[in-house]
Amino acid sequence: MSNYKVGLVVPIYTTKFIKRIIEYINLTYSNNDLIICIVNDAQPEVKKYLDSKIWPDNVEIINLESRGNFAGANNAGWKYLIDKYPNLKYLGSLNDDTIPKNGWLEKMIFVLEGYPKTALAMPIMETSLGFLKTKKNFACWRLKGSDNMEPINSKIKNDSFVSAVNGFCFVADKNALVSVNFLDDEFKNGCEDLDLGIKLLLNGWRMVTVKDSKVYHIGGSSRYIDGNNKILDNNHVILAKKYSNDVEKFNNLNESGFLIIRK
> What pLDDT, in 10s, does the model give residues 104-151?
999 999 999 999 999 999 999 999 876 767 899 999 999 999 999 999
Closest CA to 37 of 12, 8, 73: 8
Topology (CATH level 3) of domain 6-249: Spore Coat Polysaccharide Biosynthesis Protein SpsA; Chain A (3.90.550)
Domains of the chain by residue range: 6-249
Q: What would the mean pLDDT of 223-242 be, rounded to a whole number?
A: 78
β-bridge mates for residue 120, sequence order = 172, 207
What is the overall mean pLDDT for the chain? Answer: 94
> What pLDDT, in 10s, does the model give residues 146-199?
999 999 999 999 999 999 999 999 999 999 999 999 999 999 999 999 999 999
β-bridge mates for residue 160, sequence order = 209
CA 175 – CA 177 distance, rounded (Å): 5
The confidence score (pLDDT) of residue 231 equals: 83
> What pLDDT, in 10s, does the model give residues 16-45?
999 999 999 999 999 999 999 999 999 999
Taking a C-beta distance cutoff of 8 angstroms, is the pair 160, 209 a contact? Answer: yes
| pTM of the entire predicted model | 0.95
Alpha-carbon separation of residue 27 from 84, 104, 240 (angstroms): 24, 11, 40
